[in-house]
Amino acid sequence: MNTKSSSTLCNLFLVLLWMITECNAQCSSDTPITVSGKATCYGLDLAHTKITLNHVIGFVTNEIGVSHTDAEGRFNISGQALDATPFSGPDQIQGSMILFFQFEYRRPGETSKIFASGEWFPLEISGFQGQKNVGTLAIDNASCQRYIYFHEVLQDFKRRTGRDFERHFFIYPNEIITAPRPFVTWDHVRIPRGFYLTYDVVIHEFGHIIRNIYDGGPDHFHHDLAQYGGFESHTCSTKTSFEFAFNEGVASYWARECMNSNPNGPMNIEGNVAAALRQLQETCSTTDNGMLEVLRKNPWVLHTYRQFENAHKRLYGCPS
């Protein structure tokens, strides 16, 4: 190596050393950042969703804060932003701040995720130091709509049973499938790409999740699927097998569907099963949670309405 090259490398080393020294002097302290506001989705409060505050410098994204919206969609999230670089003046925040709404639901005070509904929503925030209230954000997109629906079915479950739903489940919102509507494979909700989701559809599919989880594991689900079917088109009045009608009838019972069906009709019709479950519940004064206890305490063996009725009688002594 010649003298000129050695001198150049030495100068580069000195410049690098100066940059590190300057950054240690100027960048060692961080600027506290707090962002607050309220999030809504199509006019409804975006409750209990995970949000993160991210400091983006160039191609590098640094997560500097994690929080959740409260029951009314309000949020307050804080983090420490890098103050300066050797190429900027003091007290300047480099890059940009991005707030990500992740549409993940975790029960307040718990760390395990119950579900996530789709793509994150980013909000870039600039032009402020310290604190900023971004006001009310109307995040009106498909991910937040799904989140609202699935969050509500969990609140409905708690109101009806007096307890939290204890399991996580998965949502696949853009499945490339030919099915005319969403369906559930054990605890996986599969939504065809482009399908217009409604709350009525979501609570019906959630009824399938309840039924599947209490009936046994995924292996048992796939065994029943092979034996009895599960993805065929159907309505409240469709005549099928007794087993298929029971599975769909439980979901329709939970979703409060098929209200005009015949509780004393053939039990190979989904709507009749739903009506019979409601009649059994009313006759025996069984709570919603009590009806689910029949499923939970009899995994693998309940596949028709009559089997459910007999298990209900063994558990509660009713019907007489």
Residue matched to tokens 């999230």: 77
Long-range contact pairs involving 103-106 (C-beta distance under 8 Å, separation at least 24): 103/49, 103/50, 103/143, 103/144, 103/146, 103/147, 104/49, 104/50, 105/48, 105/49, 105/50, 105/147, 105/150, 105/151, 105/154, 106/48, 106/50, 106/68
CA torsion sign for 248, 249, 255, 257 is positive
What whole-number distance in Å separates Cα of residue 234 and Cα of residue 239? 8
Residues in Cβ contact with 87 at an 8 Å cutoff, skipping those fewer than 6 apart: none
**CA dihedral sign of residues 215, 313, 248, 156:** negative
Look at residue 76 and tell me if it is in a domain.
Answer: yes
CATH number, residue 59: 2.60.40.3330
The predicted pLDDT at position 57 comes to 87
Q: Per the domain annotation, does 103 fall within a domain?
A: yes
Given this model, what pLDDT does residue 9 score? 53
pLDDT at 128: 67
* Cα-Cα-Cα-Cα dihedral sign, residues 279, 282, 283, 286: positive
The reported pLDDT for the residue numbered 7 is 60
Residues with pLDDT less than 50, the chain: 15-28, 84, 86-90
Does a structural domain hold residue 58? Answer: yes
User: What is the three-class DSSP state of 85?
Assistant: coil
Q: Which residue segment(s) compose the domain that 241 sits in?
A: 169-316
- Per the structure, how many domains does the chain have? 2
In a domain, 109, yes or no: yes
Q: Considering the entire predicted model, what is its pTM?
A: 0.85
Instruction: Say what the pLDDT of residue 13 is.
Output: 53
Residues 207, 187: contact at Cβ < 8 Å?
A: no
